[in-house]
Amino acid sequence: MWSVSTVIAAFGLALVAMSFAFAGGAVIVVIPIVILALAVAGFLDLNRRRKQARSLHQHREQAKAESVEFTERDQRTLVSE
């Protein structure tokens, strides 16, 4: 699990526990806040993963575009005997 979503989940659980301890009716307010915070954390994680995958895809495309030029000496050393 991503570190930010772990922190938000722990914060949400603490809010729920605190609302039960001090005022039982506060759960009505806290649960939507926790759900919203988890949704934001999930969106941020999904966005980070999408950018990371796009970066890897671009790196692969750039690697395909480059051709390797071997010198005559390279050709001699690469020949298997």
- 0.85 surpassed by pTM: no
The distance of Cα 72 from the centroid of its chain, to the nearest Å, equals 46
Q: Kindly report, residue by residue over 9-63, the tens digit of the pLDDT.
A: 788 788 777 777 776 666 677 778 878 888 888 888 888 888 888 887 787 777 7
pLDDT at 27: 67
Separation CA 78–CA 81 (nearest Å): 9
Separation CA 10–CA 59 (nearest Å): 36
SS3 call for 67? coil
Res 7 pLDDT > 70 = yes
Domain ranges of the chain: 3-78
Res 1 pLDDT > 60 = no
